[in-house]
Amino acid sequence: MSKKITNNIRRLRFNNDEMTQQMLADVVGVSRQTIVAIEKDKYSPSLEVAFKIAEFFQEPLDTVFQYK
């Protein structure tokens, strides 16, 4: 079975005062639809966006994104 990139962004948003997708999108500089696609594992973001998301939630990258 091939590996894929998954993430915990939805949970992290929820734990971050139920932050909206639009707010996160504005912080990392992408569209809300891109955040939706990332959360649904339909799009793997660039390293830059991945680091921005992890930095925003103050979590290590491998806590936000997993490759399994």
Partner 1 sequence: MSYKERSIWVSLAITIYIWFNYFSTIYHSVQSQNLTISIMQSALLSVVIMTVVLEILHHIVIAIIDNKNANYDEDERDKKIALLGANNAYYILSFTTIVAVVHLLFPFMSHHIEALINLPNEYVIINIIIIGALIAEISKFATQVFYYRKGF
Which conformational region is residue 27 in: left (phi greater than 0), alpha (psi within -120 to 50 degrees), or beta?
alpha
Query: Interface with partner 1 by CB under 8 A: which residues?
Result: 29-34, 37, 40-43, 45-46, 48-49
CB 50 within 8 A of CB 61: yes
User: At 5, which helix (H) or strand (E)?
Assistant: strand 5-7
Task: Between 29 and 66, name the residue whose CB sits nearer to partner 1.
Answer: 29
Task: Between 19 and 25, name the residue whose CB sits nearer to partner 1.
Answer: 25
Instruction: Work out how close the CB of 49 gets to partner 1 at its nearest, in angstroms, rounded to a whole number.
Output: 6
Which backbone phi and psi does 44 adopt, to 5 degrees? -95, 120
Instruction: Work out how close the CB of 35 gets to partner 1 at its nearest, in angstroms, rounded to a whole number.
Output: 10
Instruction: Work out how close the CB of 48 gets to partner 1 at its nearest, in angstroms, rounded to a whole number.
Output: 8
